[in-house]
Structure 1
Amino acid sequence: MNRRKLLAALGPAALIASAGTAWAAVSRSRNPYYQGPVSDHFDGLVFSDGRTVSKGLLDVLRWQTGKREREAFPESYATPPQDKPPARVEGARIVHLGHASFLYQIAGQNLLIDPVLSERASPFTFIGPKRVNPPGVAFDDLPAIDAVLVTHNHYDHLDIETLAAIHRRDRPRMIMPLGNDTIVKARIPDARAEALDWSDRVSLTERLSVTLVPTYHWSARGAFDRRMALWASFILEADGTKIFHIGDTGFHDGSLYERLGREHGPFRLAVLPIGAYEPRWFMADNHMNPEEAVKVMLALRAEQAIGHHWGTFQLTDEGIERPPQALKAAAAAAGLPEERFRPMRPGLSWEA
């Protein structure tokens, strides 16, 4: 079997393990992205969120090559018409671009979070998870971008080609966790990339700030760089409105979000992943399911939530409609009206 057929047989999760990038060739004796002081979540080589990491490459191969109950995505999945955002918004307006990508228009600023506008969420152009719908806002319709926030370096969240296109057009600030700036500057040497640690707070304007906080996840761009760049969630605060944004997370025991809810809540909105969760034996550590997302919303003391990370790229085994169906059932079981936590399709918006 040639390399292309082998990658196709192994599926999207194996792409990270097979990525033919310079980063994947580094020695485990040195972190290529970040050299900094040891802390409670960095041992000098890799980052940790305090959990025991139990899944590795052998588990990826077991999942991809073993008996699976996989519901294939359709070739295309209908979504609402693409949004035409205004140039600026003084309040808060959030548009889903697809998967985990968002345009935030808040307090007069335009932000992108985890923008992936490419055809594939992959290190390759010829194989890997392919989008089944266009971005919720066409690139040419995006307003001038002031800042880009990146939660972590997985290919469905950090898309170098999209970042390069935005940089060429708007030269925004780029805010990301430790080590991710090295990845960005390798492709975009003059990028205004700023790397921050958990609990760091940055003021984008006098009215708008962003704080990085922990999340239960991991990082990798290749086979030998697992957890060598940090991952984070974002708390955005503007004019008295607080929004909690998670790109990816597992649930674990929920204690992290109970603590963050006590320390930073309540929130006007929580933007939470609800997809890429099957099979649970493999995905539970790092991807919560809709039932767990409802628990996180309540732990954060959020008035409302919107669900993303579903319906654009197939990364895991659940069918394309499973996340919104499961979310509806989970919200009902928790006694929540549907409007308090709704799944977000590309092109739809939320306004405060």
Structure 2
Amino acid sequence: MKLQMNSERGWMQVKRRIVDILANIDNQELEKLFLTEEEERELTQHISLERIKNRAMNRILEEETMMFKNRKVKKYKASIVIAAAMIMILSTTAFASQYMDSLKQFFGQSASIAEDERSPIQGTDTASGVTMNVEEGIYVGNSGYLVVSFMKEDGMPFPEGASIPALELNMEHDVNYMVGQQLVDDDKKLIGVFEMDAMNDLDGLKARITADRITSAAITQAVEGPWDVQFTISPGKQREQGLNLTIDEGEEAMSLSTISVSSIGLAIEGKRTDGELDKLPEYTPEVKVIAADGSELMLHVSSTSTTKNGFQWLYNLDSKNNLVFLGDVDIKSISIDGNVTELK
């Protein structure tokens, strides 16, 4: 049997074989597949999915030849199972853990993000022995975070205080953003996080992240770039609900049309109905998240931004202006100035 490594049809056959393999192993063998957090971290530092895929495909093909000789054989070697499962597990669970590592390293352990809300990108560019990896995006409404990391191919640390003077985000439509940078892993990893608000819907927007060079604390040049990764935004899952709510507060009147909910906060969209369409509202309503157990969490607005249809409030701060992550909250409803909307 001959299978081209770059053949989509061949790869689909292998994936079907993986499913068959996993369906015919006992629980004792299956336990061997589970990895500790330390093992996941070790495996995903310098991993090559292409190399794993090629090896696994070759091993599965060898097993296929044996199966043709004796079709009654249903017991698979643990090494075959592990090789096959590595493709599925490492491309989802382990890499997802790696994404979470970057977010938690940057924001702290409170950065809880629901698995199905993350949008993997994995766009890379290497210059002067340093790889820039645009890892993923997390979105709510027209806002979100983009996570990018820099690591040396030889695993060595960056100089103390290393940073990127020009780490920039460009989109085909207007976007406002701030970017933070932080050295982690004993200075072996430089993380950049873009916090952005876009005028248009994010889904399908073409984006580009560039960096010029990495400098040390002494502002001397440490690593010469440039790095350039282009990609298309594809937001993960978020809960979106229509609103039919009007607010009349003093001289400001507005109509709220949509609320979006994800692990990084709430985005409420609306438009002014007082004739001041070219102005952002000064007023922000009181917003509470109501969990399934009846507990309530007050959120404060972090930004008011312009959209193509009006404006958007982004609520993701606590009373001390700390970021609030909602990945661990089972949200049942949202209260806006006392008006409760049940989430479907």
TM-score for both structures, normalised by structure 1: 0.23
Higher relative contact order, chain-length normalized (CA < 8 Å, sep 6+) = 1
The structure that has the greater radius of gyration is 2
